[in-house]
Amino acid sequence: MATPITEKVKEHFKFKVVHVDKHTGARAGEIITPHGVIPTPVFMPVGTHGAIKALQPTFLEKMNAPILLSNTYHLHLSPGSELVKKAGGLHKFMAWDRPILTDSGGFQVFSLQRKSIKEEGAEFKDHKGKKILLSPETSLEIQQNLGSDIMMAFDECIPYPADRKYTKTSIDRTHRWLDRCIESWHNPKQALFGIIQGSTYDDYRDECLEEVVKRDLPGYAIGGVSVGEGPELMEKIVKYTAPKMPKDKPRYVMGVGNPEDLLMIWENGVDMSDCIIPTKFARGGTLFTFRGKIRIRHRNYRRDFYPIDPNVDCYANQNFTRAYIKHLFDSNEILGQVLATEHNIAFYKTMAEKAREAILEDRYREFKEDFLTNYSKD
């Protein structure tokens, strides 16, 4: 069911699987976009408002971060996508010349307490009380104004728990919304990904997968996980759905960011993920290391003159000790949040790179087991 736009986008957006681990479904690949090549598996840091909180883009450039995610809903509210378009697009506006993925705003609508989901779209009030209708057409218009490399189709993120009737009604509407997104998609330099919903029901996941894949889109995502269903059900959904997704297109699981969960989705052939966990935790003083999370405010780190994690190559680890970063947090110095954020993003990038290396050498299972043996939750 290819359309003229889906054919044209193939000139600008490509994906290839470089290697599949022979013992698992884990795979290493490359996503080729107009703003650069993204090696996979990849974890995408979230820059909700067109910026990674507490971090300059130069830090991300120096660590060679391959892609960032920004948020359609929030950029629509401020400063407005028309203004960003006049500024030359989001890449120029935020001084970032590498790939950007924008989500559709669907998850943010899901997060609102007061909203109305109807055929036209999702209606809600912004923080000033102004009534807003976010529809498939407006979501695509905003994302095309922003100029992201990868756009997400507007869908309903189904809450957990959801009964079968609600789920069926929702996915049927999501398929109609997807067709409206495709009709509103005009720029072949921007790839549009479809989203597979279906809550916890295998048959509805199958139905949604079949319908979405018919559209022959550049990539596909598993949505509706990490919405309160717990890690066991998340794993069940991913294990069931991911291997059935097209092998020649990028696979994306939305909103997953715990290291243990990343290991699971990568093992099942997923290429992309995003989450606010590393940056949000950093600002609160929780740092990720290959030996587990540390809470840097704890008194144990007052005389700890070691780097956060010597296995992570970044400015924070090259120059500062745990004792110094604890001092910064204790003193309410903004630099503490800056260094912690840089470190956590670098940790996630290093983790993905090590996973890719293990996949290429057919030892992903060993890598996963070794990681989990050394990594402990506190």
**Residues counted in the chain:** 378
Q: Kindly report the number of other CB atoms within 10 A of residue 41's CB atom.
A: 26
Q: Which of 209, 214, 260 is nearest to 234 (CA)?
A: 260
Verify whether residue 378 is a known catalytic residue. no
Options 21, 103, 261, 271, the catalytic residue: 103
DSSP codes, 82-97: HHHHHTT-HHHHTT--
Options 21, 155, 261, 274, the catalytic residue: 274
Q: Kindly report the number of other CB atoms within 10 A of residue 360's CB atom.
A: 14
Phi-psi region of 228 (alpha: psi -120 to 50; beta: other; left: phi over 0): left
**Are 152 and 177 spatial neighbours (Cβ–Cβ below 8 Å)?**
no
Tokens for 206? 């199958």
Q: Which of 290, 251, 233, 354 is nearest to 25 (CA)?
A: 251
Q: Kindly report the number of other CB atoms within 10 A of residue 37's CB atom.
A: 13
**Are 92 and 124 spatial neighbours (Cβ–Cβ below 8 Å)?**
no
Tokens for 49? 């408002």
Verify whether residue 103 is a known catalytic residue. yes
Q: CA 243: distance to chain centroid?
A: 19
Could you give the residue numbers annotated as active site? Answer: 103, 274
